[in-house]
Amino acid sequence: LSSVNVHAHGAVGIFGLRFLHGDGECGETEGNTEALCALLVSETALVHYTPRPKNAGARSLAEQGDVDEKYWKRRYNYFARFDEGVRMDPGAWFEVTPESVARHLADRLCHEVVVDGTCGVGGNAIQFAMNCRQVIAVDTDAQRLSDARHNAGIYGVASRIRFVHDDFAHFAETYEGQVDAVFLSPPWGGPGHLDCPHFSLRDVEVPDIVRLFAAACKLSRRVVLYLPRHTDLHEVGILAQQHGFPAVEVEKVFFQHPTPHLKLVVVYFSPEVLQLGIPRSVTQKTVGRPSASVSPPAKVLAGARDLLSPALAGILLRAVYCREEVS
């Protein structure tokens, strides 16, 4: 893609994909036919900073418990109302979606009924409930669901969330109601996932991301995956093609504090993706410092295969790159 010029607001790149076909896996054998999928890549800069409440007192080591200091310092980023009694188990400290990101995702998934297939302690479900008529929050851990219900009560949205203790794949097989969109934020394997040069959709065995995605597609044709910043996009394209999506949007989320840096990737699968070719203008107020004037860098690499575009192959497709600044 050396001939592609990336501008601040809208540049066009041309590339095609040769996909591998397998039995439910992300490409095990190469097919004789060439399947194509367009990847529309956008960038969103978020203010990931929540000031310490004025009435927040110094916490004792007993209150902090075994929580790592770097996560403890970010507690208000995870839940702005943390001091009102938010509950988090040890795993939630590195799995929960920061509130500014969860709020941004909720604004993008503003539908009647949204399923959060990996609820955890409720970071995403709470923000979805701010905009949606009903949120169905599914998790295999009963204690986490209890914590999520408690946290939703703090934010005043517990009545809009239906908590379901079940395996998401089983829930998808048996649920017969209306679902407008499904959100999945499967565990990434803990902080150690960053030790690998790239994140494969097959790396984490429990839960199986590919299996969860297949289950989500049975509920809705709008599915959102919340993934690490060094996800292998070639596998994302394969997954989309195998489930009949001609295009997907890959949103690269940057945090602006303390300096702009790529934090995570959100992938949107839906029939409407091909209509997203025009750069969007999004404005979102977040708790904390005003947005810095600096734009995200054109390219930030966290690993050898961080957000790699697949090799050129066959018929060329158009991919649209746009950058958004959320303040």
User: Mind listing the domains of the chain with CATH numbers?
Assistant: 11-325 (3.40.50.150)
Spell out the long-range contacts of 293-299 with Cβ–Cβ below 8 A and sequence spacing 24 or more.
294/256, 294/260, 295/8, 295/45, 295/260, 295/323, 295/325, 296/43, 296/45, 296/252, 296/254, 296/260, 296/262, 296/323, 297/260, 298/6, 299/6
**For residues 1 and 15, what is the distance between their CA atoms, to the nearest angstrom?**
8
Average pLDDT of 218-227?
Answer: 96
pLDDT at 313: 29
pLDDT at 233: 87
Average pLDDT of 193-203?
Answer: 70
Q: Exposure string (b/e) for 260-288, b if CB count within 10 Å is 16 or more?
A: bebbbbbbbbbeebbebeebeeeebebeb
Is the pLDDT higher at 201 or at 253? 253
pLDDT at 187: 79
**For residues 269 and 315, what is the distance between their CA atoms, to the nearest angstrom?**
22
Helix, coil or strand: residue 42 = strand
Residue 68 has pLDDT above 50, yes or no: yes
pLDDT at 304: 30
Q: Which residue has the tokens 């008529």?
A: 133
Single out the residue of 7, 15, 60 nearest to residue 38, CA to CA. 15
Kindly report, residue by residue over 82-136, the tens digit of the pLDDT.
Answer: 999 999 998 899 889 999 999 999 999 999 999 999 999 999 999 999 999 999 9
Is the pLDDT higher at 241 or at 313? 241
Q: Which residue has the tokens 């004792």?
A: 60
Spell out the long-range contacts of 78-87 with Cβ–Cβ below 8 A and sequence spacing 24 or more.
78/123, 79/123, 79/151, 80/50, 80/287, 81/154, 81/155, 83/53, 83/55, 83/56, 84/154, 85/150, 85/154, 86/151, 86/154, 87/121, 87/147, 87/150, 87/151
Q: In what order do the strands lie in the sheet with 223-228?
A: 11-15, 317-325, 38-46, 247-255, 261-269, 223-228, 181-184, 113-116, 134-139, 161-165
